Amino acid sequence: MEAAFTQKKLSELTFAIIGLGLIGGSYAKALRRLGVKHILGLDISRGIAKACLNAHMIDEIVESGSPALGKAEVIICCVYPGAILEFVRHNAAHFQPGTLFTDATGIKGRLPEQVQALVPAGCEFLAGHPMAGRQGSGLGMAAAEIFDGANYIIVPAAHNTPAAIVWLENFAKALGCKCTVKISAAEHDSIIAYTSDLPHILAVSLVNSASFTEHTKYFIAGSFKDATRVADINPDLWSDLFLANKENTLAEIRKYQEQLARWTRALEQDDAAALQAMMQEAGPKRRELY
């Protein structure tokens, strides 16, 4: 028998958002835009939860360990990777049978199986990852629009039902996402190391370069702005993400170092043909992305 949430309209569903920062706050605003029935909010900071309530982003504040979580038919966990299991251990007893539990974390590992082992019978954890974000961090940066045109990665595991997967695909589209992609946890983490972890490392490294001075801002055009946009990130969150995906990220750093070595050789040898070949190789690939 399919879970009740798959049979209801969004306007008939109660959601709980765990963690009301940039992503959690954006979910809250997007759910309000969608007109869902009721939105519960939980955050480690009572002040942030209160701010969300006062801004009408959520309808009710819940505390960790509260039976009120049992009202939720869909729970979206937007906390650091290391905090998800802790949340489940303290709160799973209050999940109702038929609840869909999903996340938004950028690293999966063994999380799908670990969470599913902790939730009550009849509940289903389906890992997700909206490829949405913006410069900065925290509730003040939250916006429903970050989902518009974004991609939504769904990471099914053996325990997931077809109905839940279809529901999450449709939910992502309702949020405004452009397309959904289904992929295994191992593939997700490997690709994310290249498309997300490495670019953030490069942006931070550019800004931290010894060449950065008080005069740098007078010599910046589009290329430097684009390359360093994500340097202003949440250090606590991203240190967790980098360490949780350490081996994949180290592999991507090594691959990037190989590319830098190609540039070093070409420049040292005054090899214009090699420089042109690298750029000619990259151009069509970049154009195919968009």
The secondary structure element, H or E, covering residue 280 is helix 272-289
Please give the order of strands across the beta sheet that includes 124-131.
Answer: 60-61, 38-42, 14-18, 74-77, 100-103, 124-131, 151-155, 179-182
* pLDDT band at residue 46 under the 50/70/90 scheme: very high
Last-in-domain residue among 127, 151, 183: 183
Q: What is the pLDDT of residue 237?
A: 87
Q: What is the pLDDT of residue 6?
A: 87
* pLDDT band at residue 1 under the 50/70/90 scheme: low
Range of the domain at 96: 4-183
Which sign, positive or negative, has the C-alpha torsion 36, 65, 245, 233? Answer: positive
d(CA 109, CA 58): 31
User: Are 150 and 24 found together in one domain?
Assistant: yes
Q: What is the pLDDT of residue 181?
A: 96
Chain segment 221-248, per-residue pLDDT in tens: 999 999 999 999 889 889 999 999 999 9
User: Are 77 and 208 found together in one domain?
Assistant: no
CA dist 9 to 12, 83, 126, 174, 246, Å?
A: 5, 30, 19, 11, 40
Last-in-domain residue among 149, 183, 217: 183
CA atoms lying within 13 Å on the CB side of residue 136: 9
- pLDDT higher than threshold 80 for residue 17: yes
Give the mean pLDDT of 27-39.
Answer: 97
Q: What is the pLDDT of residue 289?
A: 85
User: Are 160 and 208 found together in one domain?
Assistant: no
- Residue partners of 229: CB distance under 8 A and separation at least 6: 135, 203
Whether residue 147 contacts residue 132, with contact meaning beta carbons closer than 8 Å, is answered with yes
- Residue partners of 36: CB distance under 8 A and separation at least 6: 10, 11, 13, 14, 15
Whether residue 144 contacts residue 29, with contact meaning beta carbons closer than 8 Å, is answered with yes
Q: What is the mean pLDDT of the chain?
A: 94
Give the mean pLDDT of 20-38.
Answer: 96
- pLDDT higher than threshold 70 for residue 174: yes
Last-in-domain residue among 183, 215, 245: 183
CA dist 82 to 9, 107, 148, 250, Å?
A: 32, 10, 28, 20
User: Are 220 and 251 found together in one domain?
Assistant: yes
d(CA 193, CA 195): 6
User: Are 165 and 198 found together in one domain?
Assistant: no
pLDDT over 90, % of the chain:
90
More confident of the two residues 122 and 140 = 122
From 70-79, 190-199, 281-290, the region with the lowest mean pLDDT: 281-290
* pLDDT band at residue 148 under the 50/70/90 scheme: very high
CATH number of the domain within which 244 lies? 1.10.3660.10
User: Are 16 and 130 found together in one domain?
Assistant: yes
d(CA 60, CA 99): 18
- pLDDT higher than threshold 90 for residue 210: yes
- The number of folded domains in the chain is 2
User: Are 216 and 94 found together in one domain?
Assistant: no
User: Are 72 and 205 found together in one domain?
Assistant: no
Chain segment 89-118, per-residue pLDDT in tens: 999 999 999 999 999 999 999 999 999 999
More confident of the two residues 176 and 1 = 176
Q: What is the pLDDT of residue 141?
A: 83
* pLDDT band at residue 135 under the 50/70/90 scheme: low
Give the mean pLDDT of 116-131.
Answer: 95
Which sign, positive or negative, has the C-alpha torsion 44, 46, 51, 53? Answer: positive
Instruction: Provide the 8-state DSSP code for 5.
Output: G
User: Are 175 and 228 found together in one domain?
Assistant: no
User: Are 272 and 153 found together in one domain?
Assistant: no
- pLDDT higher than threshold 80 for residue 203: yes
Q: How far does the chain reach from its first CA to its final CA, in angstroms? A: 41
- pLDDT higher than threshold 70 for residue 169: yes
Give the mean pLDDT of 198-205.
Answer: 97
For residue 272, report the phi and psi dihedrals to the nearest 5 degrees: -65, -35
Q: What angle do CA 242, 244, 245 make, to 5 degrees?
A: 65
Which of 85, 190, 195, 214 minimizes the C-alpha distance to 133?
Answer: 195
Q: What is the pLDDT of residue 134?
A: 67
User: Are 220 and 266 found together in one domain?
Assistant: yes
User: Are 57 and 139 found together in one domain?
Assistant: yes
CATH number of the domain within which 106 lies? 3.40.50.720
- pLDDT higher than threshold 80 for residue 51: yes
Based on C-alpha coordinates, what's the Rg of the chain? 21
